[in-house]
Copies of this chain bind each other. A is one copy, B any other.
Amino acid sequence: MKVLFSNTSFERLKEIIEPLFRGHEVRYVNILEDPRPLRWAEVLIKGTEPFTAEMLSLAQNLKMVCQWGVGVEGIDIGACSANGVFVCNVPSINTGNAEGVAEVAILHMLLLAKGYNKSQENLQRGKMFSPRGLTLWRKRISIVGLGNVGMVLARRLSAFEVNLVGVNRSRKMEFDSLPLTQFFSLDDLSAAVKGCRFVVVTLALTPETKGLIGEEVLESMDENAFLVNVARADIVQKRALERALKERKIAGCGFDVFWEEPPDPSDSLLKLPNFYVTPHIGGTNDETLKGIPAFIASNVDRLSKGELPISCVNINSIRKAT
């Protein structure tokens, strides 16, 4: 098939992309600067650029738009559906995204549990067998948000023989297979975090979850509890968190995200000894680099064989129309 990558930065990944798309014709064009190749394309693979109804009108041969990643908010899905064009994304699970983010959550949990910063100080001072850390083993841990990341995390943590509490907006059938000892609705978050040594945030950011973790939830957490956030910083109220840490309402934090990215290195939160931050590295790893294009390539192959694509967000609209 004729496969158009929507910007030239994909060309840097050529060595990974081209073996996967063998048997197809591949072009890399910045479609915001030069939309003409859209006429040629049967498949468009796009990054963060928008894909509007106007651009679609230029793409008479287009059969499928594939998002490089999960978020399809830049695509005019209605227009695509009306024209019988499949819109597909890449699920975070099994492509290295959910797996990588869950691993970074566990890194933060272990940094906090073992007192890594303190251990490095002790090493400098010649002090061994110290600090006396915690095990994750046997601790009560709540996972707030049971999407792909939360579910992948639950499966990994359960091997540490912990006591897992799941929190989600609604209870879904698929949670039955998770190793949870208890389930709470998001409305009962303050009750869910009580008695937990770790609270790990894996929620999507929505108007409903923005600022969800503020004074009330932080007050409900145990004084020896740690908060880990690998989702979006804005789910947590920054000033309330800073206060809770300074007043020792909670014992520490680990964030792979920040309110302003990149964070200002002089931000007072970064100076707190029990605040670990990593620069949003959960989804950036060797496996996503292979997993995302491989998933898209398999969808292109399906389409070329006349099969329906998978992870298609508008499949029902198109089916109804045909």
Contact = CB atoms under 8 A, between A and B. Distances in A.
Contacts of A127: 262, 279
Interface string A147-164: 000000001111111000
- Give the one of A111, A136, A138, A159 with max B CB within 10 A: A159
Contact of A113 (B96, B103, B129, B130): B103
Interface in A120-162: 120, 122-124, 126-138, 155-161
B286 A134 contact: yes
Given A135-B286, A155-B159, A279 B103 contact: no
Interface residues of A, number: 53
How many copies of the polypeptide does the oligomer hold?
A: 2
A33 B114 CA distance: 36
A61 B126 CA distance: 43
Nearest to A107: B110
Contacts of A99: 135, 137, 160-161
Given A137-B287, A155-B159, A107 B96 contact: no
Residue of A127, A157, A261, A285 with most partner-chain B CB within 10 A: A285
Given A123-B279, A262-B126, A265-B126, A96 B135 contact: yes
Given A159-B155, A159-B158, A123 B262 contact: yes
14 contacts: A99-B160, A103-B110, A103-B113, A103-B160, A106-B106, A107-B114, A123-B277, A126-B262, A130-B279, A132-B281, A132-B284, A132-B289, A134-B286, A159-B159
